[in-house]
Structure 1
Amino acid sequence: MLNQAVWFPDNAYIESTRLYRWMKKLGFQNYDSFYKKSIQDIEWFWDEAVKELGIEWYQPYKKTLNLDQGMKWPHWFVDSKSNVVHNAVEKWASCEQTKDKVALIWESDDGQVIRYSFQELQDEVIRAANGLIASGIQKGDVVSIYMPMIPETVIAMLAIAKIGAIFSPAFSGYGAEAVATRINAAKAKMLITADGFLRRGKQVMMKLEADRAVGLSPTIEKVVVVRRLNHDIPWNDKLDISWDSFLENGQKLQCSPKTVEMESNEPLMLLYTSGTTGKPKGAVHTHTGFPIKAAFDAGVVMDVKQGDTLFWYTDMGWMMGPFLIFGGLLNGASILLFEGTPDYPNPDRIWEVASKHGVTHLGISPTLIRSLMKHGETWVQKHDLSRLKAIGSTGEPWNPEPWLWLFEKVGQKSIPIINYSGGTEISGGILCNVLIRPIGPITFNSAVPGMDVHVYDENGKPVVGEVGELVITKPWVGMTNGFWNEPDRYENSYWNRWPDTWVHGDWVIKDEDGFYTITGRSDDILNVAGKRLGPAELESILVEHPAIVEAGTIGIPDDVKGEAAVCFAVLKDKQPDTDIIKKEAMELVVQKLGKALKPKEIFFVQDLPKTRNAKVMRRAIKAAFLNKDTGDLSSLENPHTVDMIRELGKNYFNQIELK
């Protein structure tokens, strides 16, 4: 893939990056030899990484890594004591040179802007921590967060961490049942929520869902409500307390709460991921795990520095929400929270926000770009993006056309796109684009340093140039410390294929130049007449058709081929003749992949089932089309699309029976 690269860093650029300077300080001139050392000696690597990040400890660690319990249960930074709040906020607030620097910027859906310096953020965290203590929250208690992207969300999370309690954020778009499932799994004592928030100019009444969730959650003793909209809302005097009253109760303590010194393996947060069977998995993350991995990936890989502004369009219930907080603040950078949507009130909102606040690192998803590119580049050209240094991308595989549009029209062929793929249980990335190697469309030019990554065939042997399972064969800082109260489920989820090997669930191709391409989730993979086919391969071809903006592919049982591809495509505009488009799209696939891999059918739909962080949920498409149980759909932005696909499936199979 090296010959297909389109972005090439010159020597001056390479030498300016944190990664290069750190490598050189460690005695390496060559990236390949540095990466090799990073996976051969992981203790050395992570010891040097925390020094580079300037992580401060109340009690230094005696040993970087202890594997007495095996690779599935590593113990990092043995006998150390720390607290993420010290490294994210307090050390910057206590320094004259940084205390007045901007830590947090918030822009609302309707254009309000609030800024907090590190000193101001620390003051708010102290107030909230006192409020928690006055409410009876203690070290080890779990507090659920069901909040929009507002400053109080970050303040609450940091305050919970400060006193040694555990926060568990839920996606702000969840309904009551999904929130309650996560509250009950965590046995949370408190819920922090809001009366509502603005989305596309409309008021979303969050407290109503929160009340329903609490009614299903017997462990909740107190509900703290931020008055974002200042509306009349149902109120339970025995249970509910406003954010302002919560803070006032804390002030009565008349003391500054001590930041609790946490041992390295003690939990910081629970991040629940959707399970295919409807039961979410609670990834356990520690003070010395997720924040350090996030800070390393943001700081060293993405080159986030003091003076930069990091903005990832996300939600606090997704991994990239906490990544935004810790990846930015631990590096002394500003973080930007955005309540609104990228295309409201106009299709240039995200570019306007990035320009207004001098964003240096912008995080998006391929689906977001596909939805914006149909409006054309003139909306981008209206805004000054000269401070933008890098564009991060996560969530799903790319297709070439939207990647190139982003690179050429938004980045003017000069801003690198950092493809970044990992997961909630990783605390960050497995694969990435490092800024000292050329970058090509849709691919990853490296594994993240410190991640011992391989691509295995079905026999557990490394393969090059063909599709295989993405695996990791050594532990890393940030690896989930199991699932909350479900150690066996954790081991069965990732460790049951090959000995001491983390099987991540992605199908990947690694080429001879060391470039990786993700072709889809391994449970999404198609096996058509003995040929393995990643859904992204077909989808990329379909969106090359000028009338098709987006596509999703599934495999269905086939009497002849064992499995056949069925595709669902979203058209750019109302098209006069979909039959012609379908015929041309089929021919395009045949031309690129051969007749054997031609889809059995292409259906045109108004939209694909997507999560709020813009992942196309192929398993929901497949289950609905085959009229099977769709499992947990609580993270879907547009659940009505599943019903439409279910009807398409019923009609399709009815017609086959009639024939």
Structure 2
Amino acid sequence: MKENDFIWQPHGDYLNKSNIALFMKRWKIKTYQELIKRSTDDIKWFWNACVKDLKIEWFKKYRALYDDTNGMPWTRWFLDGKINIVHNCLDRHIRDGNGDKTAFYWESDDGISKKISYKELYDKVNSIAKSLVKSGISKNDVVGIYMSFTPETIIAMFAAMKIGAVALPIMSGFGPQALAERLKIAEAKILFTSDGFPLRGKQIELKNKINEAVKIITTLKKIVVIKRLNKKTEMDEKRDIFWDDFIKLGADIKTTKTAILDSEHPALILFTSGTTGKPKGVIHTHAGALTQTAKEIKYYFDYKEKDVFFWYTDLGWMMAPWEIIGVQCLGGTYVIFEGKPDWPNHHRLFEIIEKYKVNTFGIAPTAIRMLKNFGNEFLREHNLSYLRILGSTGESWDKESYLWYFKNIGGEKCPIINISGGTEIFGCFLSPLPIMPLKPCALGGPGLGMDIDVFDDTGKSIRGETGHLVCKKPFPSMTKGFIGDNDKERYIETYFSHWKYSSRRKSIWHHGDLVKIDEDDSWFLYGRSDDVIKVSGRRVGPSEIEECLMSNESVKEAVAIGIPDELKGEKIICFVCFSVRWPKLTGEETAEELLKKYVSEKLGKILCPDNIYFISALPKTRSGKIPRKLIKKVYLHEKIDDISSIENPSVLQEIELLNMIKIIACKRKE
């Protein structure tokens, strides 16, 4: 196979009966190239046609699709429309007589299975919604959700949205400090959590660990605790309540109607990380989130009425609410999984795929790299014949792992819909369509209705070279800004400050990804153009790790960078300067081990550095800034052109030497 060969060609039903093929026939569009061009040239036509084809229901139809009079950053969508995600994802399916259909299957870490119908989900959502109202939760109040991926997470999310409150899912892997900071930024009024959860045969405590941290959240009035492990739990009598008792609070309320909300009423807050400052809480709306996710599930992943959809994810990652909202808008069925792909063994995911006859399966490249290490013989023990579409997202692929996924899991018969977007857009800028030929690692082309391009450093559109991924027109699911950023300064600085033109109307969204379009118009992703670290598909802001390290009394300064890692995409490397107070060590524990443990306890294992090095000082520019990109280049022994702006260049030699010593030590071990 040549480097640039197409490995998959669309055929049969993909070309003739796929959802996107039927959409094209309806509009007399002959090729996918014509479809992409028309959808990005004429976004008014596309999004209006999309909303109609998806059968999205409105309490009141919008009078105009969008208004970008004040410029792309301030675009308003679906003007004067009234809507609610819960009506589209739950209520109408009950109304239409589909209550007995399975909404989702749940597989726990410890082997428990559940099947939840639309009617059962509808009843449980209504019960929690009534109790939220009884507890004083109303429109715009923030509802935190912090637990492992169980049915209760979905119930709590939809219950919040039903009454016009805002759901805030937070990954259960975050530690108490990281949780508290996010709750504080969002000014959460109520938190759903659990006593703990099973993980790889162990029981992980949750509620007891966060009691001290949440004391600083002055807005937090109530914590609802699910008895996942039935462990003894410390409860504040005035604030805390168990799930079953919480349900009883609203028992005397007969009904709670689904709130009729403005199109741009906030539905979700999802946290993403930048290179400086605190984590960013991005806001997504009912109409925007619903339209984008349903579009992608139906057209990109060709979801059919009787399909079963399964994306291996966690509620705190964008892909979980993306899957839940998108599939349920279409009245479909999906799988949620609480556990890990290699527990109790590496057969776990494939047992689930076989058990539920999964048709669409999505996963991050990191997990595939891990599974690939077990070879491919074990896959022959599982019937994967129902698979029709494979998915991936979160980071760049390496060719070997991509081909392993394509050949051994997909049997060379399933296209890999390799998507790329972000938390801040709640969807994809790039995606293949099932009617496209595909090359290894390719992302197809621009998402439908997403007018994207590749710019060089001067803002010129380029082909055949690596450049910056940009978007030139607004789209419904673009975030409405960051929590607490009322004047949108941070929002503008993050996405619209790279290429400014004569007016704000012509602002360009700079996404921070490096991409290239080859000679066949296939798009490829080459990582981040900023300092954000991407660990196992999750974006990590270096400042959060640095701040945690510096909260330890023995650390004066710290810097975090991400370097390439075959398994995780990137791993975290930190450089630390000690204060006068040397860390207190016990037994054979090293200073590095102590600080790793400290970060794990505060932020969670996912944010724990792989290596921590101790240096005399951090490199700084003459204006006092820490040059992370330069530090990374030095550590990786890459070419450095100019260090004239560095106040203390001798420290760079320390960093280079530290990595050389590590490399030599590793070779001796071999």
After superposition, give the CA deviation of every residue in 1:179-227 in whole Å (9 maximum; x if it has no partner).
1111111111111111111111211111123323312211100001111
After superposition, give the CA deviation of every residue in 1:19-61 in whole Å (9 maximum; x if it has no partner).
1101111121121111111111111111111111110000011
1:72 counterpart SS class:
helix
Within 2, Cα distance between the matches of 1:164 and 1:220? Answer: 18
Residue 171 of structure 1 corresponds to 171
Residue 185 of structure 1 corresponds to 185
Residue 465 of structure 1 corresponds to 464
Matches within 5 A, 1:132-171: 132-171=132-171
State the AA in 1 paired with 2:123. D
Within 1, Cα distance between the matches of 2:578 and 2:408? Answer: 41
Distance 1:625 1:333, change over 3 A: farther
Matches within 5 A, 1:343-492: 343-486=342-485, 487-492=488-493
Contact 1:458 1:468 in 2 (8 A): yes
1:363 counterpart SS class:
strand
Distance 1:459 1:191, change over 3 A: same
Residue 302 of structure 2 corresponds to 303
Q: What displacement does 1:424 show?
A: 0.4
State the AA in 2 paired with 1:207. K
Distance 1:654 1:429, change over 3 A: closer
1:315 counterpart SS class:
coil
Residue 626 of structure 2 corresponds to none
Distance 1:296 1:112, change over 3 A: same
Asked if 1:616 is matched to 2:623, the reply is no
Within 1, Cα distance between the matches of 2:563 and 2:495? Answer: 29
Residue 230 of structure 1 corresponds to 230
Decide which of 657, 660, 664 is 1:653's aligned counterpart: 657
2:45 counterpart SS class:
helix
Within 2, Cα distance between the matches of 1:370 and 1:90? Answer: 40
Within 2, Cα distance between the matches of 1:635 and 1:495? Answer: 30
Asked if 1:642 is matched to 2:641, the reply is no
Contact 1:53 1:331 in 2 (8 A): yes
Distance 1:120 1:91, change over 3 A: same
Contact 2:176 2:603 in 1 (8 A): no
Contact 1:166 1:268 in 2 (8 A): yes
Q: What displacement does 1:13 show?
A: 2.5
Q: What displacement does 1:71 show?
A: 0.9
Structure 1: state its 5+ residue gaps: 526-533, 537-564, 571-607
Residue 604 of structure 1 corresponds to none
Within 1, Cα distance between the matches of 2:277 and 2:349? Answer: 33
Q: What displacement does 1:117 show?
A: 1.1
Residue 573 of structure 1 corresponds to none
1:4 counterpart SS class:
coil
Residue 286 of structure 1 corresponds to 285
State the AA in 1 paired with 2:32. Y
Within 2, Cα distance between the matches of 1:186 and 1:655? Answer: 40
Within 2, Cα distance between the matches of 1:68 and 1:201? Answer: 56
Distance 1:420 1:645, change over 3 A: farther
Matches within 5 A, 1:506-585: 506-523=513-530
1:189 counterpart SS class:
strand
Distance 1:38 1:626, change over 3 A: farther
Contact 2:177 2:603 in 1 (8 A): no
Within 1, Cα distance between the matches of 2:167 and 2:535? Answer: 36
Contact 2:425 2:479 in 1 (8 A): yes
Distance 1:638 1:128, change over 3 A: closer
Within 1, Cα distance between the matches of 2:357 and 2:186? Answer: 38
State the AA in 2 paired with 1:495. F
Within 2, Cα distance between the matches of 1:640 and 1:76? Answer: 40
Q: What displacement does 1:639 show?
A: 4.6
Matches within 5 A, 1:22-421: 22-96=23-97, 98-253=98-253, 255-421=254-420
1:59 counterpart SS class:
coil
Distance 1:451 1:373, change over 3 A: same
State the AA in 2 paired with 1:40. D
1:289 counterpart SS class:
helix
Distance 1:142 1:457, change over 3 A: same
2:143 counterpart SS class:
strand
Within 1, Cα distance between the matches of 2:480 and 2:60? Answer: 21
Distance 1:114 1:654, change over 3 A: closer
Contact 1:454 1:471 in 2 (8 A): yes
Within 2, Cα distance between the matches of 1:346 and 1:3? Answer: 36
Q: What displacement does 1:518 show?
A: 0.8
| TM-score using structure 1 length | 0.83
Distance 1:320 1:233, change over 3 A: same
Within 1, Cα distance between the matches of 2:657 and 2:4? Answer: 45
1:47 counterpart SS class:
helix
Within 2, Cα distance between the matches of 1:567 and 1:339? Answer: 29
RMSD: 2.8
Contact 1:193 1:210 in 2 (8 A): no
After superposition, give the CA deviation of every residue in 1:528-579 in whole Å (9 maximum; x if it has no partner).
xxxxxx999xxxxxxxxxxxxxxxxxxxxxxxxxxxx997666xxxxxxxxx
Q: What displacement does 1:16 show?
A: 1.4
Residue 502 of structure 1 corresponds to 509
Within 1, Cα distance between the matches of 2:85 and 2:156? Answer: 14
After superposition, give the CA deviation of every residue in 1:93-151 in whole Å (9 maximum; x if it has no partner).
1112x221100211111111111111111111101101101111111111111121000
Distance 1:624 1:166, change over 3 A: same
Contact 1:2 1:513 in 2 (8 A): no
Contact 2:129 2:256 in 1 (8 A): yes
Contact 1:65 1:74 in 2 (8 A): yes
Q: What displacement does 1:636 show?
A: 6.2
State the AA in 2 paired with 1:239. R
